[in-house]
Amino acid sequence: MAPIPLDEEIKSKVSSPKRQWGASWWEQYTILFSRGIKERRHDYFSWLRITQVLSTAVILGLLWWRSDSKSPKGLQDQAGLLFFIAVFWGFFPVFTAIFTFPQERAMLSKERAADMYRLSAYFLARTTSDLPLDLLLPILFLLVVYFMTGLRLSAGPFFLSMLIVFLCIVAAQGLGLAIGATLMDLKRATTLASVTVMTFMLAGGYFVKKVPVFISWIRYMSFNYHTYKLLLKVQYEQITPTVNGIRIDSGLTEVLP
């Protein structure tokens, strides 16, 4: 009887319903979570990335230095700033997350073939280990931008703006992970992500106010639009009912699934 090829042996082992795990699901998750933090903290907090974020924040702070929302022109200028924040933190995480699964595919296949952990533990650990890292750079960014540009100097609006940006990052990261996992090819994934992010940006409510009915549905899929509208609500809820044609309502449409 001829020996079974190694590839077929591994394949049969992976597809076998009776797999033996060396640790519980929670132990697998905690180990993978800790490994994810250690592996990616150097990428997240590289001098290049910190310089990119802080230099962008300083430039925004200088361009919108002590802007005044009391005048119609100043309010429109601030709306442009809020839209840029929504676009920047919607664009940045997408292209970071795209590389995740294509780069880790070989390692994942090898470790899964050895029954080291469940796929669910890997995916959840991979996703949640990015969240603490994703939050620190936006905090630095908003600490610079918020106080230099003269946005509402109150604890409530500041922390709500932080929460909105963080939720935008989570949505953008999910889009990047989905595109990367679907295509598993960096060139094609980058192309699709560029087209998708550009479409979401254009439909975000700043460039085009009156969108034709047959294409207006794109706006409601755009996390840029929802982020922009929530930032407007936080800043101008008690100042004006509309900004650039966008009605400042309760915000339930944006936060509810």
The DSSP line for 96-160 is HHTTHHHHHHHHHHHHHHTT-S-HHHHHHHHHHTHHHHHHHHHHHHHHHHHHHTT---SHHHHHH
Contacts with 43 (C-beta within 8 Å, 6 or more apart), sequence order: 49
Work out the average pLDDT over 28-57.
87
Give the C-alpha separation, 157 to 159, whole Å: 6
pLDDT (0 to 100) of residue 193: 93
Mean pLDDT of 19-39: 83
Of 109 and 196, the structure prediction assigns the larger pLDDT to 196
Whether 8 shows a pLDDT value over 60: the answer reads no
Chain-centroid distance of CA 91 in Å reads 8
How high is the pLDDT of residue 133? 79
User: For residue 255, what pLDDT is reported?
Assistant: 58
Residue 35 has pLDDT above 70, yes or no: yes
Q: What is the pLDDT of residue 9?
A: 47
pLDDT of 215 > 60? The answer is yes
- Ranges 78-87, 122-131, 228-237, 243-252: which has the least confidence: 243-252
Mean pLDDT, range 141-163, rounded to an integer? 91
For residue 247, what pLDDT is reported?
A: 66
Average pLDDT, integer, range 3-12: 49
Q: What integer best gives the mean pLDDT of the chain?
A: 82
Q: Is the pLDDT of residue 11 over 60?
A: no
Calculate mean pLDDT across residues 242-252.
63
More confident residue, 238 or 117: 117
Q: Are 84 and 231 within 8 A, CB to CB?
A: no
